[in-house]
Amino acid sequence: MVLNGVVMVLMFCGLVFFTGGGIGILRFPDFYTRLHPAGKLDTLGSLLMMTSVAIFNLHEITLSNALTSLKIMLIVVFVFISSPTATHAIMDAGVRAGLRPWEKGMPRG
Amino acid sequence: MIEPASRESSQVKTKWGPFVVTFLTSFGLWLILSGKFDYFHMGLGLISCALVSIFSGDLLFPGGLPEGFLAKAVGFIAYLPWLLYQIFLANLHVLYLSLHPKMLEKINPQVIRFQSRLKSDISMVTFANSITLTPGTITLSVSVDGDFKVHAIDDKSAEGLAGEMEQRVARAFRED
Amino acid sequence: MHSLFLYVGLYLCFLMVLSLYRGVAGPTVVDRLIGVNAIGSKTVVLLVLIGLLYDRIDMFVDIALAYAMLNFIAVLGASRYFQKRKGLYEEPPYK
């Protein structure tokens, strides 16, 4: 029961971060500011949700279940390495294409 | 002044160090991903990991292992919990910004340039990725001699830049 | 617990539709890239949840790992490709 409670809380927190990311992509005024929620709220959201699934998977502890949970955490490690790199690559593409950053007082782009 | 014997042993270390580290990493990954622990599959894993490490061990560490590799690895692992805590705090900040009804008045995007005192490649990559992971700031570009350009989303996250995080990265990679 | 995972998966699909709006309507090419990247990072979680629903999580975890790598490489390749195109936007270049 305690385990299910922890799983539910973690999953709910992850969904809150994912929701913030999804709404932030729609609401922020320009390309550079949109990357902030897109690249990072999603990273923490997937960390929380993957951790909750890994904990739920350990409800009966066997070797194969433990290996599956380890693999899920491996995905999290990979996301934590690749997500900043992908964010930086997209931002670099924007800079080289010559997009001008939004500043206070400009209309929404 | 370097004693000849220690120089010899460090040469051995630079020759075999990348092979050993690559082999251990890839064999650990093999064990997790295959999940079969009989002799046949582990033998296949040993052979293929050894082949891969012989052929491409120098791709992971061009120019051999850096000085004090173990201490740096331990320092990096000790740096991670603080980074996770920082990511969580700053994510809450960006979540608050993105759900705030008057968000356009709250944010003030700006590009900041600063000079970092980190020297080695791996520490600068770690620092740049940490900046990108801490929301509110994204690294725009890094030059070879530590010239950082950072896009910050508001004044609060622009102020906290390049202070404690750089010190901690420098301490983790033994550069202070 | 299975119905909880089902509803979480449906909610993730709803969030993916939100990101798809940015992918379809984004004013520049790089905006569309952001939308695609956001959809990809949600798909990895959705694949693991589908694995839980079908009780075959050991198989779906491998698929999710492969999808995460594929998504990363696709975003890298697309951003490398589009940065060669000058003048995505009619404004003067940013110095």
Confidence of residue B47 (pLDDT cuts 50, 70, 90): very high
Confidence of residue A106 (pLDDT cuts 50, 70, 90): low
CA distance A42 to chain C (A): 7
Q: Does A14 touch chain B (CB under 8 A)?
A: no
- pLDDT of B1 over the 50 cut: no
Residue A56 lies in a domain: yes
Q: Give me chain C's average pLDDT, please.
A: 83
- pLDDT of A30 over the 70 cut: yes
Cβ distance C82 to A74 less than 8 Å, yes or no, reads no
Structural domain of A36: 2-97
Cβ distance A88 to B132 less than 8 Å, yes or no, reads yes
Q: Does A93 touch chain B (CB under 8 A)?
A: no
The DSSP secondary structure of B61-109, one letter per residue, reads STTSPPTTHHHHHHHHHHHHHHHHHHHHHHHHHHHHHHH-TTHHHH---
Confidence of residue C11 (pLDDT cuts 50, 70, 90): very high
> Which chain C residue shows the shortest CA-CA distance from A41?
C38
Of residues B135 and A84, more confidently modeled: A84
Confidence of residue C10 (pLDDT cuts 50, 70, 90): very high
Q: What is the pLDDT of residues A54-68, one digit of tens each?
A: 888 888 888 888 888
Q: Give the tokens for residue A3.
A: 């385990």
Chains sharing 3 or more CB pairs under 8 A with chain A: B, C
- Residues of chain B positioned with their CB less than 8 A from the CB of A108: 104
Contacts of A33 (CB under 8 A, 6+ apart): A102, B107, B109, B153
Of residues B165 and A7, more confidently modeled: A7
Residue A40 lies in a domain: yes
Cβ distance B99 to A23 less than 8 Å, yes or no, reads yes
Q: What is the pLDDT of residues B72-120, one digit of tens each?
A: 788 888 888 888 888 888 888 888 888 888 777 777 777 888 777 777 7
Cβ distance A26 to C72 less than 8 Å, yes or no, reads no
- Residues of chain B positioned with their CB less than 8 A from the CB of A86: none
CB pairs under 8 A between A and B: 96
Give the per-residue pLDDT at B102.
77
- Residues of chain A positioned with their CB less than 8 A from the CB of C52: 53, 56-57
- Which A-chain residues 42-71 have CB contacts (< 8 A) with chain C? 42-43, 45-46, 49-50, 53, 56-57, 64, 67-68, 71
Contacts of B27 (CB under 8 A, 6+ apart): B45, B46, B49
Query: What CA–CA distance (Å, rounded) separates B149 from B147?
Result: 7
Of residues B108 and B24, more confidently modeled: B24
Q: Helix-strand-coil percent breakdown of chain A, rounded to 5?
A: 80, 0, 20
Beta bridge pairs of residue B112: B150
Confidence of residue C86 (pLDDT cuts 50, 70, 90): low
> Which chain C residue shows the shortest CA-CA distance from A49?
C45
Q: What is the pLDDT of residues C55-72, one digit of tens each?
A: 888 889 989 999 999 999
Query: What CA–CA distance (Å, rounded) separates B41 from B80?
Result: 34
Of residues C32 and B156, more confidently modeled: C32
Q: What is the pLDDT of residues A45-54, one digit of tens each?
A: 889 999 998 8
- pLDDT of C92 over the 50 cut: no
User: What are the two backbone dihedrals, phi and then psi, of residue B151, each rounded to the nearest 5 degrees?
Assistant: -100, 120
Radius of gyration of chain B (CA): 21
Domain ranges of chain C: 14-81
- pLDDT of C95 over the 50 cut: no
Q: What whole-number percentage of chain B has pLDDT above 70?
A: 84
Nearest to A75 by CA among A51, A58, A57, A41: A51
Query: What CA–CA distance (Å, rounded) separates A94 from A87?
Result: 11
Query: What CA–CA distance (Å, rounded) separates B85 from B118?
Result: 23
CA distance B1 to chain A (A): 40
- Residues of chain A positioned with their CB less than 8 A from the CB of C57: 53, 57, 68
Substitution target from C1, C30, C39, C88 for chain A, most A beta carbons within 10 A: C30
> Which chain C residue shows the shortest CA-CA distance from A30?
C31
Overall number of domains in chain A: 1
User: What are the two backbone dihedrals, phi and then psi, of residue B118, each rounded to the nearest 5 degrees?
Assistant: -70, 150
Give the per-residue pLDDT at C83.
64
- From the list A20, A81, A91, the residue facing B140 with the nearest CB is A91
- From the list A23, A64, A108, the residue facing B98 with the nearest CB is A23
Q: Does C2 touch chain A (CB under 8 A)?
A: no
